[in-house]
Structure 1
């Protein structure tokens, strides 16, 4: 892992693209070099594949940003609370999350609205703040778009639980039904509202005019 980090810094360079074949040629005889490089993400290194960047081919990766200099003494200790993600853990997490992105609901291969881009699912490490104020790291399934936007997010479980306590009884029943089904149907007016909010200001003005506001 340390050698891979030095190779990225000294040979590839931040912002540059490299291929899996170039990586393997740089480390002949080193087994699972791809995995050794992926381990750098646990130390704050940002390395994109075509899951995160649509302009990359499946064989390409981009070295986006250097993290902790793991080659320095004492810097290669895996951060506390880090969860190793192997193939089995990945399948288990995606299956437990209903085979969809937990942030936007996209399923593998689904096309993003207004584009030709298809969703790919991956595993994100999400910091979760417990009701007692402590933080833990848990795994969650996200698509490439949500994973990029949610790197610095902290999910606050305490806030969710307190919000549920403030709900009226009938609203709690509705929420319980949604959670049991793990989905909810948005009313037409809610779908229009979501589309309206995404419009530029001049277009929103036309909508307001159409409603005579």
Structure 2
């Protein structure tokens, strides 16, 4: 294998080799260790993040609760970018610029399209504030082709949905099969870009987020315990 200390390689390739040979799969490291390994190399943090576009999984404390804020974990390697021709991004996986990011956030209503949380909102039962990011989602079109589209997701949903693909054809067929009343209800939700929950549905949602002792109190109130 090539050496991560070879200055003739690009920074991203060197970082990939450093993770494999020095950190090791499944192990933690800090930004300080990364910068110490590459003194004087500008944007080394960004070059490491670029590896995610090639299937490399590098978690922070947002994805791994066991990590401190200054730590990251090298979960698993992806494409061996140091091999000739392997560090070229596929179509649709170019870096997302700031302008495009703002456009996607605006179109998605500045909220996670998976769970509906907004930036800075606290996840139920935690002290963790949501952070929004732009994810690439494979979408199956009605003609059977697959396209990569951008969608706003919070960091928590993005990690859990990396392997998911959306199926537009299925959604269209399900929508076409609705009766007039169901179609009207769905149309109202789509027009408002949100679902209006009934009081019972909201209580159910709140109940599910309670710790077990508190859930037991609710069950007792309902005569179930």
* Aligned counterpart, 1:146: 157
Structure 1 position 107 matched with structure 2 position 145:
no
**Is residue 2:180 matched to residue 1:137?**
no
Question: RMSD value over aligned CA atoms?
Answer: 2.8
Give per-residue Cα distances to partners, 1:156-202, cap 9 Å, x unaligned: 011111111111223222222211211111112323455677899xx
Choose between structure 1 and 2 for higher RCO, CA contacts under 8 A separated by at least 6 residues.
1
Partners of 1:101 and 1:121 within 8 A in 2: yes
- Structure 1 pair 26–55 and aligned structure 2 pair: CA distance change class (3 A): same
Pick one of 44, 52, 59 that aligns with 1:41.
52
Kindly tell me the number of residue pairs found equivalent between the two proteins. Answer: 212
Match of residue 5 from structure 2: none
Q: Equivalences for 1:1-213 in 2 at 5 Å?
A: 1-194=12-205
Q: Is the 8 A contact 1:83 1:137 kept in 2?
A: no
Whether contact under 8 Å (2:26, 2:76) holds in the other structure is: yes
Question: Contact conserved, 1:49 with 1:56, CA < 8 A, in 2?
Answer: yes
> Counterpart of 1:174 in 2: which secondary structure?
helix
Q: TM-score, normalised by structure 2?
A: 0.81
Q: Which runs of 5+ in 2 are unaligned?
A: 1-11
Uncovered stretches (5+) of structure 1, i.e. residues with no partner:
none
The answer to whether the 8 Å contact 2:134/2:153 transfers is: yes
Judge conservation of contact 1:51–1:120 (CA < 8 Å) in 2.
no
TM-score, normalised to structure 1, is 0.85
Distance 2:60 2:31 in 1: 10
3-state DSSP of counterpart to 1:92: helix
Deviation string, structure 1 residues 128-150 (Cα, Å, up to 9, x no partner): 11111111111111112211211
* Separation in structure 2 between the aligned mates of residue 111 and residue 208 of structure 1, nearest angstrom: 26
Contact persistence 2:137–2:164 (CA under 8 A): yes
Closer, same or farther: CA 49–86 of 1 in aligned 2, 3 Å = farther
Contact 1:128 1:156 in 2 (8 A): yes
Does structure 1 conserve the Cα–Cα contact (< 8 Å) formed by 2:125 and 2:210?
no
